[in-house]
Amino acid sequence: MVIEEFKSQVLNDYKLAYVGSLISKECVNVDCSGFDVAQVAMSKFVQPMDRHLCRDVDVTYSLASGESDVRRLLSQLKKANSVCSDFTDVSLKLAKAMAKGRDVKQNTYGIIVTTLYGEDFLAGESLHLLLSSCRERLPLSMVVWNNLSDMKNVAMLKVFSGFSQMRRGDKTLNMQSVKSTDYPALCRTFEQQFELTRNSGVPSITFVEKAGDDIVSFASWMNEKKIAEPGVFKAVEEACQEAVSSQKE
């Protein structure tokens, strides 16, 4: 019975990721495709006491976490103001409030989960947010959806290297990277990242590297593990397409 429940849960994650990928194509602000499986995985480990803040709309996370639904997301993504302009300031204020209100005995230690895309991360403000969190030991977990081109990734690697040296020097930052197509690794990484920040207060950052078609890779993994047969995927995808189409105005 446990195995069947696991298969059902994973298949539902696939449905959410697929619907999210269809909605993401409507996004006007950023190319957010390729991170739908990652956002489903992330939603599984954000707890009710935590706060999630995104620079741009995390379409599939919003769907998987219950923050929004298909109709509201389609409507929101048509608007030019779906970007959070005061993302850094709000994140920093909330992280400080979380740190101040920490109650270890009652285990009521929420964290701030912030997400943004690679271009915004390199812009500078988010680096300030991360450095401030390290200096003040704030309960912030940052996730970067790295969709940068090869040339811009050189700059990202330099930043990554700099943070690696800082981590070795004072142990004030937990950092890791994971491929956007590896569902099991995504689940492990987010679980470990958020738990570390929640339990110790150490800020953390995960770079989710775009590594191809995450939906196709997810389906391939499910087929390999005999979670679902190819015919099931086709039926699920057709149902998802119909569900999204019916909600378009």
3-state secondary structure 48-109: CCCEEEECCCCHHHHHHHCCCCHHHHHHHCCCCCCCCCCHHHHHHHHHHHHHHCCCCCCCCC
This prediction has a pTM of 0.88
How far is residue 249's CA from residue 81's CA, in Å, rounded to a whole number? Answer: 19
Q: What is the mean pLDDT of residues 180-209?
A: 92
How far is residue 51's CA from residue 140's CA, in Å, rounded to a whole number? Answer: 10
How far is residue 122's CA from residue 110's CA, in Å, rounded to a whole number? Answer: 27
Q: Among 73-82, 98-107, 188-197, name the one with the lowest average pLDDT.
A: 98-107
Q: What is the mean pLDDT of residues 190-217?
A: 91
Q: What is the mean pLDDT of residues 87-98?
A: 79
User: Which CATH number is 176's domain given?
Assistant: 3.40.50.970
Query: Are 190 and 44 within 8 A, CB to CB?
Result: yes
How many domains is the chain partitioned into structurally? 1
Domain that holds residue 90: 2-247
How far is residue 118's CA from residue 44's CA, in Å, rounded to a whole number? Answer: 23
148-159 confidence digits (pLDDT tens): 765 556 556 666
Percentage above 90 pLDDT, the chain:
39
Judged on CB neighbours under 10 Å (0-12, 13-18, 19+), 4 is: exposed
Pick left, alpha or beta for residue 236 (phi over 0 → left; psi -120 to 50 → alpha; otherwise beta): alpha
How far is residue 85's CA from residue 247's CA, in Å, rounded to a whole number? Answer: 28
The overall average pLDDT reported for the chain is 82
How far is residue 165's CA from residue 168's CA, in Å, rounded to a whole number? Answer: 5
pLDDT value for 38: 97
Q: Pull the structure tokens for residue 13.
A: 């994650």
Tokens 């602000």: give the residue: 29
pLDDT value for 169: 47
